[in-house]
Each structure stands twice: as C-alpha cells, then as structure tokens.
Amino acid sequence: MRILSDIYRRLFSFFGPQHWWPGDTPFEIAVGAILTQNTNWGNVEKTIQNLRKYQALTPQALHTMSLQKLAELIRPAGYYNIKANRLKSFMQCFMNDFHGSIENMKHRETASLRETLLSVNGIGPETADSILLYALGKPVFVIDAYTKRVLSRHGIIEYERPYDEFQMLFHESLKRNVSLYNEYHALFVKVGKTYCNKRKPRCEACPLETLSVKNK
DNA sequence: TGCCAGGCCGGGT
DNA sequence: ACCCGGCATGGC
C-alpha cells in the first residue's frame, strides 16, 4: 500500500505539523481520550478546563471523587453519566494494575497493555490505541471515523471493514514510528474536519482530490 | 432548526 | 458474528 505514504506526504505538505495531542500530561491525554468519544473536541476542552479549575485532573482526585460529582464536572463533554462511569473504570484499572503510575504502564509490553486497556469497560479499540500512542508513546496507529471516511471515499478500503483491518493496513505499509503515527492520525482529523465529513461530501480543494488508487 | 462530533456497550437476532 | 438503540452537550 504505497498509497498510504503518498497520502501522508500530501497531507503533511498541505497542512503542516498538527502538534497533537492537546493535553499537558500523559494522564490528561488518557482522560481526554475517554471524554472525546463521539464528541466534539471543543466540548472536551471545556471539560478539561472545568476539571482543572476544580483541581480534579489528577489520579488521586479522580479516583476519590464521587461518581455524581464527576458526572457534574464533565457535563459539557456530553454522555456525562456514561463517561463518569468509564473514567471511574479506567481509574480502577490505573490504580490497581499500575499503582497510578504512567511509568509503570510504559514498562509493560504493548500487546499486553492493549489487552488490559480493552478489558476496561468503556475503552474500545480507538480509545485504547489513542492512549497507547499519544499518552504512552507506543507505535500503534489510531483508526477513527475520519480515517475510515477518507480511505473509503478514495476507494482504498470499505468503510464497514472492522477496526483491525484498517489498522493492519497502516502497520504493514508504514514504519513503526511514533511521531509518524502521531502526525498522520492528526492529519486525518484535520483533512476530515476541513474537507471530508458528512456535511462536506465533495472536496474540490482537498489535497487528496487527485489521488489515483492505481499505485495501491 | 436539525444535524453532527476524534465510540462503546448491551441486548437481540 | 453482526445489528441497533441509547447515551447528551454545544457548535454551526
């Protein structure tokens, strides 16, 4: 799949570096990954600010806070009852399995780490991989709705194919490189928001407009 | 004003 | 193994 490198080059020269992930610490990034599930990042920003304002953006604070209080604080992110539970589940795992230490997580092997994250209620493949890549610096490609939309619109793979199939494409076609994966995923979100989403089915100005699927 | 956003779960076929 | 309803706020 030479075309995946081609797409990356086009996106990067067109948009430039994206400076992801928005978040000051690995722990905040993990929290943000859960909060942003099917949710506009702007709402997540408000929520993060809210948590910070109440000094609730630390492992200890989140772990000890009541479910009701947490739900109240993360309200702007939407799905706040569900997400409060999901954050609590993650904290349970984070405290029990890693003693509240990101370093402990980093030391674990990537495959087993992914298993552990996926076993947490409320953490699916995208959230797990976002945490692995953006919080822990593991070379795992993140697939999201934008990635699927862009690839399927250009006839590279059908939108309905399972997550792992999309991910395999990237893992087999690109070097296992953290900064490359980091930047590439962010660029998918960028091009998706700008040119390739449900509101903008056509994209004349899109840098991928002239892609030929021949050099797959 | 309605539709959409950086998903995931649980229950039903 | 799929399919689908539910979850919810704020922006455009």
Residues in contact with A179: Cβ distance below 8 Å, sequence separation at least 6, in sequence order: none
State what percent of residues in chain A have pLDDT above 90. Answer: 88
Buried (b) or exposed (e) across A163-175, using 16+ Cβ within 10 A?
eeebbebbeeebe
Q: What share of chain A is helix, strand, coil (3-state, %, to 5)?
A: 65, 0, 35
What pLDDT score does A53 carry?
96
- pLDDT tens string A126-144: 999 999 999 999 999 999 9
Question: Above 60 in pLDDT, residue A56?
Answer: yes
Q: How wide is the angle at C-alpha A176 spanned by C-alphas A174 and A181, nearest 5°? A: 75
* CA neighbor of A29 nearest in space, from A73, A71, A90: A90
- pLDDT tens string A170-209: 999 999 999 999 999 999 999 999 998 888 876 778 999 8
- Please identify residues in chain A, positions 68-97, with a C-beta within 7 angstroms of any atom of strand C: 75-83
Pick out the nucleotide with least CA–C1' distance to A43. Answer: C10
Structure tokens at A36: 């942003």
Tell me, rounded to whole angstroms, the distance of Cα A79 from its chain centroid: 18
Nucleotides of B under 7 A from a protein CB: 3-10
Report helix, strand or coil for A94.
helix
Nucleotides of C under 7 A from a protein CB: 2-3, 7-11
What pLDDT score does A216 carry?
45
A141, A151 in Cβ contact below 8 A?
no
**Mean pLDDT rounded to a whole number for chain A:** 95
Domains of chain A and any CATH numbers: 2-19+141-215 (1.10.1670), 26-135 (1.10.340.30)
- pLDDT tens string A6-30: 999 999 999 999 988 878 899 999 9
Q: Is the CB of A50 under 7 A from strand C?
A: no
Alpha-carbon span A101 to A99, nearest angstrom: 5
Residue–nucleotide distance: A69 CA to B9 C1' (Å): 23
Question: Above 60 in pLDDT, residue A215?
Answer: no
Element (H, E) at A5: helix A2-15
